[in-house]
Structure 1
Amino acid sequence: MVLHYADFRKMVEGLPRYPHTEVLQRSPLFHRGFHGTFNSSFIEYHELSRLGGYFNHTKKDFLFSTIQSCIRFQDFPQLKTDASWMYLGAFEMGDVHGCLHFKKRPDYESMQRLQISRLFDLFKKLKIDLGRVHPTYQGGGSVREISRGKYNFDFQVPEDLLSKRLFLEMGVPEENLMPDQTRDTFLSLHIHRPMPWGYRNEILISCGEKKRPRMLDCATLEYTLWEPLYSGRPTSHNVSGLKNMKDGFSVALIGLERLCMVANGLERVQDVDYIKPVYDYFEGITGRRDWLAVESLRALHRIYADVENYKIGGQLGRSRMDKVKKLIGNVMDSDITLRELEELLYINNTIQPWHDLLDGITPLMKRVEEYSNTPMFKRKQEKKERYKRYLARMRK
C-alpha cells in the first residue's frame, strides 16, 4: 500500500507530544542562527527567538513541535555522485514527541526511554523491520580524540550506555548497534555562540538488498548533559572544559522524505510522490533526470517563497546571494528555457500545498532572467554552442 507524503506529513503532525508541548510555525529559511547560509537544522530559530540562546534557561520549560524546512548547501555536490539517491535540495525534519528544553535537568533514563519508544512506535506503524534498523551511539573517549584535535582538552566522555541499552530494549538486534567515537555521536558544536554538549544517535535504515545494503540516515536522537567552559571569550577556540548543565534538552527527529522513501520501498528519495512529478516533467523536456538541476530549482523556489512570505526583502546578504547564484547556475546549465522553467515552478507549487510557494515564482524568474543576461552566462552558452558544432562535425 502506497503511503502518500501528504498523509505521512499529517501522521507526523498528529503524533502524541509531551504534555504542554506548543505547536509552532516553522522558521524561515534565513535567520541569525545560520549566518550567511540557510536553515539546516531544527532548534536554532525558535530557541534564539524565545530564549535568546541554547542553554542556562532555568526559569521555564520550552517545549515545542514543528515540521521544519531545511536547505543544506554542502549537500549539493553529492547530487553529482553515486550518493545522489539520498539527497534533496530542500527537505523537512519533524519531531516525534516534542523538542524538549527543560528548566531543570530531567531524569534522562525516563526521558530518553520515552523519546526512543515514540520513535520506534512510528517505525512499527510504518512496518519497518527492526532487523533493518542500525543505530549509532557514542563509544566514549577523550574530547581531544573524539573531536580529532578540534578541542584541546582531555575531558573523558563516558560511553553512551543509556542509548545502547534502550535500543536493545526496543528490539534492535545487538549486531546492528554501531559504536562510534567521532563527533557524529557527540554533540560539540559552537555555531556563532555557545551551545550545549551531549550525545547524539543517528538511526540508519538499510534500504538495499542483504548482500548490498545501502544505509540511509532517517532519524536522530539528541540529549545534552554539559555546557562548555571558556578560557577567555566564548569562542570555539577557547573551549577549555565542560561542566554539568543545570537545564536539559532532549529531542527525537526524523527526516520526513527519507522515512517516506523507506516506508514505500523506493530506490531514491527523489521518487517520493510530491517530488517525482517535477523530475518527470523535466525528463519530458530534456530526455534525462538531472538531480543537481532539479534539486537546485526546488531549493530556489523555497528560498524565494520565503523571501516574499517572510518579507525578507534585500536582507539575504552577500554570502547567501553567492549561494543563490550558484544554484541558479546549476539550473541554467541544464539548458531548459525560461518558459519551461516557469512551468516547472508552477508544477512544484501545485504538488506541495502545505507550503505557500506561489509568490516565490515571479521574483525567482526575475532573478533567473537577470542571470541569463550576464556576460558570464552568455560566454558559457557560446562555449556550449561551439562544442555542439564541434561534435556535429565529428559525427560527419
Structure 2
Amino acid sequence: MGFFEEAKYIIKQNIREYGMYIALAVIMIIFTISTGGLFISSRNISNLINQTGYIAVLAVGMTLVIVIRHIDLSVGFLAGFLGAIAAILLTRTGVPVFLTVIIVLVMGLLIGLFNGYLIANVGIPAFVATLAGMLVFRGALLLVTEGTGTIIIPNKSFNAIGNGYIPDIANIPGVHLLTLILGILAIGFYIWSEFNTRQNKLKYNFEVLSLKMFVAKIIFVSLIMGYITWILSGYNGLSWTIVIVIIVVAIYHIITTKTSLGRHIYAVGGNPEAAKLSGIDVSKITLVVFGSMGALAALSGILYTARLQSATTTAGTLFELDAIAAAYVGGVSAAGGVGKVTGSIVGALVMASLINGMNLLGVGISYQYIIRGAVLAAAVIFDVKTRNKRK
C-alpha cells in the first residue's frame, strides 16, 4: 500500500477521531483568509486560547459524565456561584489566595459527590437532579451577589490565574524564551512517547502504522506544536490559564488511558449492566465522575472569576451548554462509552474559534447562535452515522 493510499485508509478508518482536527484546521484557514491574517496573529490566538480555558476545563469533566451516559446541567451556575464564593472569601474575609482556591475546589468536589449520590444511590435521573442543581445555584449566585451586583476582586495574585503569564528567564524583545524552551521539551516528550508506544505495540505484535506514515505523523504533529509555541511566544508566552488546562488534560488523559479507573468508566458507559455483572461498582464510578465534575466546575469558576477580576450575577450562564457542545463536537458519543478528553479540548477550540472568527468578521450575535447550533447538530448527526456504520 502506497503512502497516500495508507493515509486515506487511516483517515477513513479513524474519521471519528480525525474529523474534529480537520474541522478545526478548516475553520482556522477560512477565518485566517477572511480576516487578512488577523485571526492567526499572536495576540488573537493567545486571547482565543485563554478565553477557552474555563470552558475547556468543564468540557473535560463533561466528557466523562457523557461517557457514563449521564448529563450535568448544574455546572454552569455552580461555577458562577463558587466563583462568587471565592470573591467573597478574598474581599470580605481576607482568606489567602491559596486557601481560597482549596476551599472552593473542596466545595465543588462535595457538591459533585452529592449530585452523584442522588443519581447513583437515590435513583434520581441525572437530568432532573442536575436541573434542580442548576436552579439552586442560580438562586444562590443571585443571593450572594444581590448586595452590590458585582464583587470586584483587587487581589493581583488571584487575578493572575486568569490574566497572568508565566515569567520569562531572559528579556528578549518579541520572544518569550521560557515558552519556547517548554515547547521544545513538550515536542521532545511527544516524540519519545510515540516511539515508546510504538515499540510496546510491536513487542506484543499489535498493528502499527508503517514507518513512513509514523514518521510523517511525528513530523506533522511536531510542526503544529512548534508553530503554536512560536505564536504564543510572540505575545507574552504561556498564560497560567493555559498551564492549568494542560495540567488538567494531562491528568485526565492518564487516568482515562492508563488506569483501571479509566477502563471502568468506559466499561460502565459501554454497557452498565455488563459492567455491573463483571464486578465493577457502577455507583462508585458514578460518584467519582460527578465528584470530579464538581471539582472541575469549581476550577472553571475560579478561572472565569479571575479573568473578569470580579464575580457577577450572570456568571456561569450557558457554560454547561458550551461544555456539552464542546464534548459532542470533540467526538463524545451520545450513546455513551466513547470519547476522549483530548478530543473535547479540540471541540472547545472549534466552538471558540467559530465565535472568535465571527466576532472579528462582525457577524451578528443572532447568526452566531444559529451557526453554533448547526455545528452542534452536525456533530451529533456525524456521531449517529459513524456509529451506525460500525454496527
Greater helix fraction, Structure 1 or Structure 2:
2
State which structure, 1 or 2, has the greater radius of gyration over its C-alpha atoms: 1
TM-score (norm 1): 0.23
